[in-house]
Amino acid sequence: MTKPWSLALGFISFFLLSLGASGFTRPAPGRIMITRHNKSESHPQQVHISAVGADGMRISWITDDKHVPSIVEYGKAPGKYDMSATGEHTSYRYFFYASGKIHHVKIGPLEPDTVYYYRCGGVGDEHSFKTPPATLPVEFAIIGDLGQTEWTASTLGHVGKTNYDMLLLPGDLSYADTNQPLWDSFGRFVEPYASKRPWMVTEGNHEIETFPILHSHPFDAYNARWRMQYEESGSTSNLYYSFDVAGAIHVIMLGSYTDFDSKSDQYKWLVKDLAKVDRGQTPWLIVLLHAPWYNTNTAHQGEGEAMRKAMESPLYNARVDVIFVGHVHAYERFTRVYDNKANSCGPVHITIGDGGNREGLARDFDENHKSVSLSLLREASFGHGRLKVVNRTHAHWSWHRNDDSDSTVADEVWLDSLNASEACKTDPSLGYSGTPVVDEL
């Protein structure tokens, strides 16, 4: 485990080096921080929660002891558990690695905007979480390509200082990359945050973890450990799903690394899911996926193009407000766009793949890229984003750079819901939308 003084010296050294430079100095990748389990085999570890259904939470954790029951006791006061729920468990093997007992327990119904205290497996530490509010405003923390490095610790520390309601992660969690003990380390690393607020995630390329001939099944660790509410949203796969927040926001989590063409299960599910959204009741529509469709960085050029061609039209026709992506280890915000052109009825695309991963930053932006006129701000720095949906018509987006040991607001913008635009109103007789309105920005 990395010692606190070592991390502090690293930050101080970086600060002193940056004093002699003009502007902000881009940090190097941080060291991987291995978080170990030093308690009994029956002690719950890697505790994290996710929203499930209209008023429930799924509590997930792991024990090395296979006999610990999958039970969660909970209540509204510390140490007073007047409710309990029993769930299910799973496990998996990866070559010579055998996971612990992975518990998943759904609890509820829960009251909105309320703190609950809970204990897993009838033993261990007491945790607490706050449920999201039933009405706006709602604030999301958004981090992509997280990893478990010193910079990850900095990012999560900044996020943890804010009173956000839910964390959204568009892929690349642990960076285990087939080294399964790193999944366990990651679970312990994020537990102080993921046990307090619901984390809603989708997969990235680092979650695939196949091995030619010897291990052909992708996403074994991801699906076993980070189960999301796919069944409740009518999906048949943990790799894509949707959920509602505060009765006014519909969030869709798409899978960049499973089939997405018009004949695929994911595409058919997406069309049905979009058709269910009543924008009169749900004015905000947000999408997350991993590989960007718009990207002026030289890293990962064109890797999201096939998915863009397959799925951009239904998302545009449904008037999606904003699309968050990862994969590229930098920050970039585009204007509203559709089919490679500025379009006032298209979604804002934001790359937020800068959580703190071990691979470092994608520093090289192509100033001659065909989409450069659509890109409003781009920077290679570690950080995180916050989206505060204030009311039915306005949301505030801000990107917070990890500037040395502080968090600095380096970009912010007010977003108008497309549902509030008369020019972009959807027309049910045309499927999703009316006539496109082009805005050459």
| pLDDT above 90 for 374 | yes
For residues 43 and 58, give the distance between their C-alpha atoms in angstroms, rounded to a whole number.
19
pTM, whole model, 2 decimals?
0.91
Q: Residue 62 CA to chain centroid, in angstroms? A: 21
- Per-residue pLDDT, 348: 98
Q: Can you state the angle between helices 265-276 and 305-317, rounded to 10 degrees?
A: 20
Which whole number is the average pLDDT over 370-379? Answer: 97
Q: Can you state the angle between helices 150-160 and 4-19, rounded to 10 degrees?
A: 90
| pLDDT above 90 for 25 | no
What average pLDDT is seen over the chain?
91
Give the rounded percent of residues in the chain with a pLDDT score beyond 90.
86
**Residue 262 and residue 130 in contact, taking contact as beta carbons nearer than 8 Å:** no
**Residue 193 and residue 376 in contact, taking contact as beta carbons nearer than 8 Å:** no
- Per-residue pLDDT, 404: 67
| pLDDT above 80 for 52 | yes
Q: Which of 248, 344, 239, 350 is nearest to 292 (CA)?
A: 350
Residues that are catalytic: 300
- Per-residue pLDDT, 427: 52
Rounded to 5°, the CA angle 103-92-192 comes to 45
- Length of the chain, please? 441
**Residue 201 and residue 76 in contact, taking contact as beta carbons nearer than 8 Å:** no
For residues 144 and 169, give the distance between their C-alpha atoms in angstroms, rounded to a whole number.
5
Domains and CATH numbers, the chain: 45-130 (2.60.40.380), 138-430 (3.60.21.10)
Q: What is the DSSP letter of 424?
A: G
pLDDT tens by residue, 178-217: 999 999 999 999 999 999 999 999 999 999 999 988 899 9
Phi, psi dihedral angles at 158 (to 5 degrees): -65, -45
Q: pLDDT grade, residue 124 (50/70/90)?
A: confident
pLDDT tens by residue, 243-269: 999 999 999 999 999 999 999 999 999
Q: pLDDT grade, residue 12 (50/70/90)?
A: very low
pLDDT tens by residue, 298-357: 999 999 999 999 999 999 999 999 999 999 999 999 999 999 999 999 999 999 999 999
Which whole number is the average pLDDT over 86-107? Answer: 98
- Per-residue pLDDT, 30: 82
